Every structure is written in C-alpha cells, then in structure tokens.
C-alpha cells in the first residue's frame, strides 16, 4: 500500500502524482502521530531533496543546474520546517 503525502505538498498541481493518484513512495509524512516524534532537519531535507528530484526529473543535476537545484532543496526544507512548526493537530498538545 502506498503512503499518502499529506504534509509536503506545496502546490498540488506541481506535485508528482502516480498513475493511481498516490504520491511518490519515497516521501513520507513528517509529523506526529504518523511518526512518533518531531522530524529531524535531516529527515526534512531528505524529503525536500526527493521532492526536487521528482519534480525536476533529475536524480542529480548537471553542473550548470547545481545551484538552482540546491537552492530549491534549501527553500523547500525551510518552507517545510515552517509548515511543520505551525501545524496544530487537533487533540494534541502543542510543545
């Protein structure tokens, strides 16, 4: 069964959707209660990298695209960290 991406979608029209409507398996939901504790910066960055790879179609960028590729990963990492910090799950106590 494929895991749905619920937290990292920045724009559903840009997100990578599979043939059956599921999101890429490599990106996981990064918030409790799906994971037992808060996601680490390393986990968030790995998800951002996976997103950029999927959207760009490149596993690794050519040298002339490295800067824009890395900048996208940095920006998505920062946006995701802000998103996760601001999400309030009903019934859960905020730290």
pTM for this predicted structure: 0.66
**pLDDT on residue 95:** 53
For residue 23, the 8-state DSSP code is: B
Residue % of the chain over a pLDDT of 90: 45
pLDDT above 50 for 18:
no
What does the pLDDT look like over 41-84, one tens digit per residue? 999 999 999 999 999 999 999 999 999 999 999 999 999 999 99
**pLDDT on residue 26:** 63
**pLDDT on residue 88:** 83
Q: How far is CA 26 from the centre of its chain?
A: 9
Q: How far apart are CA 30 and CA 62, in angstroms?
A: 29
**In DSSP terms, which residues pair with 17 in a beta bridge?**
23
**pLDDT on residue 4:** 39
Residue % of the chain over a pLDDT of 70: 65
């Amino acid at each position: 069964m494929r895991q749905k991406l619920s937290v990292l979608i920045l724009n559903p029209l840009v997100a990578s959707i599979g043939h059956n409507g599921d999101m890429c398996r490599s990106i996981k939901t990064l918030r409790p209660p799906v994971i037992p504790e808060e996601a680490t910066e390393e986990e968030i960055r790995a998800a951002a990298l996976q997103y950029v790879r999927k959207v760009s179609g490149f596993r690794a960028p050519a040298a002339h695209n490295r800067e824009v590729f890395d900048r996208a990963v940095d920006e998505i990492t920062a946006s995701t960290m802000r998103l996760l910090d601001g999400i309030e799950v009903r019934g859960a106590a905020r730290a």
